[in-house]
Structures are given as C-alpha cells and as structure tokens.
C-alpha cells in the first residue's frame, strides 16, 4: 500500500508541472532562435552553421543526460568528463597499438568494434566505482564524484604522459563523422536515440519510476521496499556508460583523445540539467526538458561565436551567471508555489 501511494504521488508530481516546464523551454528556444536569426541572419541561417551545431551538442548533451539522471536521485555526477576522456583514451591506446594509421580498412574494422567495447566497458567501470562510493559507502555524491573525476583524469594523464593520443586509423573518424543525407551527423542522431531511450526508460520502466521515487523521498522509498543502494548504483553506472559514448564522439570528431578534452563541459552539463527543469534535490525532471535546454545552450554558444568582440574568456562568466540566474528563478518559483498552496489551505 505504501509503495502504491508513493507511486501515485510521484506520478501526480511528474505530470502537469513537468509539461508546463517543457512548454516554457520550448518558448525560450523559439525566442533564442528568433533573436539570433535577427541579429546575424547571414551567418546564423547558413546550413553549415546548423551542421556545426549538430556536431558540437552531442558531446556535452549526452553527458548532461547522465548528470540529470544522477540529479533525479538527489545526487550529482561530476565525473562525466573524466569518465569520457578515460574511456576515449583506453580505446585510442588500443587502436594505436593494434591498428595505427595506415592499416588497411579491412583489418581496422574488427578492431574498431573491440575499441568501442573497451571504451564502453571503461565507462561502466568508472560509473560502477562512483556508484559504489555513493550507494555502498554513503559518501555524498558531490564529494565522491569530484574525487573520481580527479582520479580518472589523473589516470588518463599518467598513461598518456599528458600527450594527445593521435595517429588513429582514419576509418574511425570517417565512421564517427558520417552524415545522413549529407547533413545530419551520426553523433547527432546518436544523441537523439540516447535521449529517446533514456526518456522512455524514465517514463515507462520500473527503474525509471524507482529513480523518481528515490529522489522524491529516499526514506519513504526504503520503507516501500525499494533497494535504494541498488538504484543509486545502477544510476551512476548508466551515467558512466553515457559518458563513454560522449568520449567516443569527442575522439571521432578530433580523431584523437586527451585527458583534458571538454574540461569546460562539466559546468555546461550542470547548467543544462538545471535549465532543463531537473530538481537538484531529486525527484523531478524530464529528458524532454534537458534536450530543449541543450538546444538553447548550443544556440547561445553559437550566437556568442558570431560576435567577434565577445571574447571566449567571458564564456565561463556567462555560463556561471546563467546557472545562478536559473537557480534563483527556480527558488523564487518554488517559494511562490508554496505561498499559493498555503493561501489555498488557509482560505
């Protein structure tokens, strides 16, 4: 009975508010698109510009989905970039050893499959370590994943001596940068498939419901018979797996791997999750909102690049300011909702 009541409570919490947030994000996306189109129509509306945006957003977009999943449980995964880079480096080291540049494609193809599996296995192992620290040892997620981020980055630096791993077989880059209909990059299609799969998992599967229930009230979830530690562990494993996919995408785009690629993506991923409506305290969030937030952030990032007088050095200030603004806005909306609910009760 308790489990049933908690499920109903969670389902009610996920319906209308989430839909309103997704609608607001869609309106924001349209406004940002129209603004950039009005400011720099000759540059922004080029097909090559849209193609470039579709190439860039999957790298941090998939990691943002992983961070969002961790946030929905009431935690966070700050190790996504370290996991992505270590996974890519593991795959790159293998390819360089067995199929360096110049190896015939018929010999490279089976090695590519093994390299991808190595990267995915590395991501799963990294996620399992973070998940064990959080779920089994009870270490706060922000501290555990900050530690594993430094650990994974340190391991990547040691095994590469801080140098980029290049001289990869060209076939990997050719496949990774393939375009459907000479316009839609494979990485963008992969991002859409990942978002769709995770969205369906959250909305339709037992595990997705358990994630929301755990984030809503961990004590009530435990009393309802849920294995909280198991849910947390699986969430961080999924996040590590998604990060390894991002690592492969980054490796394909640059045709190399390095320990510090995408160093600024952590802040962007957190911003995407918060802007997308994921509650940092857990229990609420929709992948549709996260996807819209990724599109908004990418359009803003591309828009900044269109203005020569806006230096890239200001980008971190802009992202940090935007994150604080969104947090303040969410805090204000939550307080107003509480006051309105209290007023209805006393009326």
d(CA 228, CA 223): 10
| 321 Ramachandran zone, left/alpha/beta (phi>0; psi -120 to 50) | alpha
Q: DSSP letters of 82-146?
A: HHHHHHHHHHHHHHHHHS-TTS-HHHHHHHHHHHHHHHHHHHHHHHHHHHHHHHTS---HHHHHH
pLDDT at 99: 79
pLDDT at 222: 87
Answer whether residue 151 is part of any domain: yes
> Which structural domain range is residue 165 located in?
54-265+277-287
Answer whether residue 89 is part of any domain: yes
Both tokens of 341, joined, read 């609910």
Answer whether residue 92 is part of any domain: yes
Write phi, then psi, for 99 (nearest 5 degrees).
-150, 65
Is residue 254 classed exposed, middle or buried when 0-12, 13-18 and 19+ CB atoms within 10 A define those classes?
middle
Answer whether residue 258 is part of any domain: yes
d(CA 14, CA 124): 29
For 309, residues 6+ apart whose C-beta sits below 8 A from its C-beta are none
Q: How many structural domains comprise the chain?
A: 1
pLDDT at 17: 54
- Give the β-pairing of 179-180 and 184-185: antiparallel
Closest CA to 55 of 247, 250, 260: 250
pLDDT at 18: 58
Cα angle for residues 297, 274, 212 (degrees, 5° grid): 130
160 touches 253 (CB < 8 A): no
Answer whether residue 318 is part of any domain: no
Answer whether residue 30 is part of any domain: no
Per-residue pLDDT of the chain (347 residues; tens, 9 = 90+): 444 444 434 443 444 455 677 888 888 888 888 988 888 888 888 899 899 899 999 999 999 999 999 999 999 999 999 999 999 999 999 998 887 777 777 778 888 999 999 999 999 999 999 999 999 999 999 999 999 999 999 999 999 988 888 888 888 888 888 989 888 999 999 999 999 999 999 989 999 899 999 988 888 888 888 899 999 999 999 999 999 999 999 999 888 899 888 888 888 899 899 888 898 888 888 899 999 999 988 988 888 777 776 666 676 777 677 778 777 777 777 677 778 777 777 76
Answer whether residue 211 is part of any domain: yes
């Amino acid at each position: 009975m308790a489990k049933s009541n908690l499920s109903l409570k969670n389902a009610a919490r996920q319906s209308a508010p989430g839909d309103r947030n997704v609608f607001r994000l869609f309106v924001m996306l349209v406004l940002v698109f129209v603004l950039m189109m009005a400011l720099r129509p000759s540059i922004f509306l080029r097909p090559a510009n849209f193609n470039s945006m579709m190439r860039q957003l999957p790298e941090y977009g998939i990691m943002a989905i992983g961070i969002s999943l961790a946030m929905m449980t009431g935690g966070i995964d700050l190790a996504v970039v370290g996991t992505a880079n270590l996974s890519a480096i593991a795959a790159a080291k293998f390819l360089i050893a067995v199929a360096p540049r110049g190896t015939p494609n018929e010999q490279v193809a089976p090695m590519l499959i093994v390299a991808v599996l190595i990267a995915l296995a590395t991501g799963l192992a990294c996620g399992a370590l973070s998940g064990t620290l959080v779920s089994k040892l009870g270490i706060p997620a922000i501290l555990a994943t900050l530690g594993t981020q430094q650990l994974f980055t340190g391991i990547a630096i040691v095994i590469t001596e801080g140098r980029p791993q290049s001289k990869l077989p060209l076939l990997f880059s050719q496949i990774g940068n393939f375009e459907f209909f000479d316009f839609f990059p494979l990485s963008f299609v992969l991002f859409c498939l990942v978002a769709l799969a995770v969205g369906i998992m959250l909305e339709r599967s037992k595990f997705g419901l358990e994630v929301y229930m755990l984030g809503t009230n961990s004590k009530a979830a435990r009393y309802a018979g849920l294995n909280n530690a198991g849910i947390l562990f699986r969430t961080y494993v999924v996040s590590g797996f998604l990060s390894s996919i991002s690592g492969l995408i980054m490796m394909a785009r640059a045709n190399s791997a390095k320990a510090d690629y995408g160093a600024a993506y952590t802040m962007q991923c957190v911003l995407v999750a918060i802007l997308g409506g994921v509650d940092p305290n857990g229990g609420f969030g929709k992948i549709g909102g996260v996807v819209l937030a990724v599109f908004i952030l990418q359009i803003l990032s591309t828009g900044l690049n269109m203005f020569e007088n806006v230096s890239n050095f200001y980008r971190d200030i802009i992202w940090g300011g935007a994150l604080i603004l969104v947090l303040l806005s969410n805090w204000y909306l939550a307080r107003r909702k509480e006051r309105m609910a209290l007023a209805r009760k006393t009326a």
